[in-house]
Amino acid sequence: MFPRGLRAQLVISFVAVILLCLALAGSAFAYLLQPYQNQQALNRLATMAVPLAVQVRILEVQGATPNEIGAFLDDQADDLNVRLLLLRQDNSVLYDTGATLAGRLLTFQGTRPNDYFSPVMQGTVDIGGEGTMAVVSVSAPPTFSAFERARRRPPAPEIRQYSVAVASSTSSLGAEWVQVARRLGMAGLISVVASVGVALVLARSISEPLAAITRASEAMARGDYNQRIPARGSDEIARLASTFNVMAEQVAKSNRTLRAFLADVSHELRTPLTSIKGFSEAIVDGTARDTEQIRGAAEIILEDSTRMERMVEDLLDLSKIESGQMQMENQIVNLGEIVDGAVRRARLRLDGREMLMETGTGLQMIEGDARRIDQVMDNLLSNAINHTPQGGQISVSTQSRNGDAEVRVHNTGSFIREEDRDRIFQRFFRGSVDGNGTGLGLAIASEITRSHRGRIDLETSEQEGTSFIVVLPLAHAANGAQPADGAPS
């Protein structure tokens, strides 16, 4: 069965690839080296045959008989540990130190001149039951006139012109190649052992981070979201670890947000539910006896149930926006008209507060969903009214700046602390609600604005109050036209 562990699989894969490469390289090396080895073996036979041929020629000149020459070859064969043949000019064997080929006519196969010695001929001979032999035949020079003059004797009346052959079994020529092959095998074995060590190190460097990520993922599946993986280097595994850390942080943040959301929803719903239950029981058990008491209890029940309905609707809207399920009807709309309509509705709820509306003279055309942008303005104005004390002032102004449309909603009498600024757009943030709100208005406004490629900025001070600035891209700015900075619209 193939190992299941990643590290074992990597090691086996590395070793298999290395073995395959060694086998291919060794085969190619053997294919290329064997002819060279055989030629080198034949050359060594030739180096032995040349001086023997010269000595045989000297013996011929001195008048030695074939038996005397054979005795000389026997001595040389014993010393050199080779098989020597004395050949006639027709390649018939006159004498064989191996005592089996005398009288036979040798037929050379693949005969050709030796590369290093021109009087040397080399080839293979089939000798029947003894197999195939490699034979190197050397013919001595035909005359030795200088030698004969030095000896001061007349030339021999008959020059037999013997040649000497050094024979060796073709299997023995591969003996050295076998030695080379053994050395190659030993080198391959050493390479495999070394490669296993290197493969273990490489496999460990790959598998350990993945194992750490696996353990962290399993821990997160059990609910432990405080998991981080050390990210070392800049390779794919390091990027995977970094991505996992980002994911783990986001999951942990989402889990915290979900818990906080459930706690906030429970808290927000507990009060109206308690109120509805209490007044319902008062009506049922007769505590509220007269018509006025029953009407008052019913009005409170209606008010709290209406608030709960608004909260549920806001939660549904916020969830749809965050998940991308809310469909936006993108079209070119006049932001100024949307702001004017929101201001008119807000004036009906001022209850002693003063509201100023400052707008430019031009058009502020944006691309977006008019109904959702209108919802943003309603939420911001409701938030301003809820946090402006009696006698306070609310102002709304619009302008264009750097290709964007800006709507500023300012109210006096409220201040957001520095530590609360990052939380102001969170759900159910206590600083953004009062008894009449759901605590979701600013969160919904922020998400809708973000979905329109815009943002909501915040400016606040104890002396001036608080301003929310909605920034949305102008429609014609997206098409390439850039309005002048600070130009009203």
H/E stretch holding 206 reads helix 175-221
- Closest by Cα among 138, 150, 137 to 62: 150
User: Tokens 């290329």 sit at which residue?
Assistant: 32
Determine contact, residues 318/347, Cβ cutoff 8 Å.
no
Fold (CATH) for 236-323: Helix Hairpins (1.10.287)
Tell me the pairing of strands 93-96 and 83-87. Answer: antiparallel
Q: Which CATH superfamily includes the segment(s) 331-478? A: Histidine kinase-like ATPase, C-terminal domain (3.30.565.10)
Structure token digits, residue 106? 């040798």
Rounded to an integer, what distance in angstroms lies between the CA atom of residue 26 and that of residue 383? 82
User: Tokens 């036209």 sit at which residue?
Assistant: 481
Determine contact, residues 443/392, Cβ cutoff 8 Å.
no
CATH C-level class of 6-179: alpha beta
pLDDT at 147: 47
The 10 Å CB-count burial string (b at 16+, else e) for 192-228 is eeebeeebeeebeebbebeebbeebeeebeeeebebe
Q: How far is CA 166 from the centre of its chain?
A: 65
Residue by residue, pLDDT tens for the chain (489 residues) are: 445 566 677 777 777 887 788 777 777 776 676 666 666 666 777 777 778 778 887 887 787 888 888 888 888 888 888 888 888 877 788 888 887 778 777 776 655 554 444 556 666 666 655 555 666 666 655 544 444 444 545 554 444 567 777 777 665 555 555 666 677 778 777 877 887 777 777 777 777 777 788 888 888 888 887 888 887 777 777 888 888 888 888 888 777 777 776 776 776 777 788 888 888 888 888 777 788 888 888 888 888 888 788 777 777 777 777 666 677 778 899 988 899 888 888 888 777 667 776 655 456 889 988 988 998 998 899 888 888 888 788 889 888 888 889 999 999 888 888 877 777 877 666 554 444 555 678 888 888 898 888 999 999 988 889 999 999 999 864 444 444 344 333
N- to C-terminal Cα separation, the chain? 76
Beta bridge pairs of residue 112: 122
List the strands of the sheet with 163-169, edge to edge.
93-96, 83-87, 163-169, 132-139, 120-126, 109-113
Structure token digits, residue 60? 């011929």
Residue 185: CB atoms within 10 Å = 12
pLDDT at 171: 58
Rounded to an integer, what distance in angstroms lies between the CA atom of residue 346 and that of residue 374? 12
Residue 10: CB atoms within 10 Å = 19
* Residue 429: Cβ-neighbour burial (10 angstroms; 0-12, 13-18, 19+): middle
Determine contact, residues 305/272, Cβ cutoff 8 Å.
yes
Could you write out the three-class secondary structure of 168-192?
A: EEHHHHCHHHHHHHHHHHHHHHHHH
Quote the pTM value. 0.47
Cα Rg, the chain, nearest whole Å: 53
Rounded to an integer, what distance in angstroms lies between the CA atom of residue 107 and that of residue 457? 106
DSSP states of 304-353 as a string? HHHHHHHHHHHHHHHHHHHHT-SPP--EEEEHHHHHHHHHHHHHTT-SS-
Rounded to an integer, what distance in angstroms lies between the CA atom of residue 352 and that of residue 362? 31
All structural domains of the chain with their residue ranges: 6-179, 236-323, 331-478
Rounded to an integer, what distance in angstroms lies between the CA atom of residue 413 and that of residue 394? 10
- Closest by Cα among 139, 138, 156 to 147: 156
- Closest by Cα among 438, 211, 472 to 334: 472
Tell me the pairing of strands 393-401 and 354-358. Answer: parallel
Residues contacting residue 227 through CB under 8 Å, at least 6 positions apart: 216, 217, 219, 220, 248
- Closest by Cα among 257, 193, 216 to 443: 257
Rounded to an integer, what distance in angstroms lies between the CA atom of residue 37 and that of residue 173? 8
pLDDT at 123: 65
